[in-house]
Structures are given as C-alpha cells and as structure tokens.
Amino acid sequence: MAKCPICKVAETATKFRPFCSKRCADVDLHRWMGGQYAVPAVEPPDDFDAEIEAALAEQDRPDELH
C-alpha cells in the first residue's frame, strides 16, 4: 500500500485515498487553498503579446496576387 502524503502512515486503503483520514485530506486541501502548493508555470517573454498580435495581423491580411 502507498503511504499517506501528509502523515506518512503506511496504510491508505480508505475512502480518503491517497490520504489515511479525512483530517489528512483536509490538511492537504488547506495547503492548496493557502498557496503552499503551486503548479509551476513558465512566464511568456515580455514581447509575447506583440508577437501574437503581429502573427494574427499577418494571418488576416488577404493574399497578394502575383
């Protein structure tokens, strides 16, 4: 069996899986809501919006006849 990620108890075959108890599940929820956990993100470069706008403008231009 897997260990509870909060208190490390070995048995987690409960309805609160992967947690061993409602208490540990609530502790985890509180940590998420409090910002202690975060999903990593990559910030776009400063000129990202300008690049997107330029690409969209280029896409909207009618094809020139040759």
Distance CA 52, CA 56 (A): 6
Backbone angles phi, psi at 28, to 5 degrees: -65, -45
Question: Is the domain 1-60 a CATH 3.30.50 member?
Answer: yes
pLDDT confidence band for 14 (50 / 70 / 90): confident
What would the pLDDT profile of 19-60 be if each residue is shown by its tens digit? 999 999 999 999 999 989 888 888 877 788 888 888 888 887
Give the residue extent of every domain in the chain: 1-60
pTM of this prediction? 0.54
Q: What is the pLDDT of residue 66?
A: 46
Q: What is the pLDDT of residue 12?
A: 64
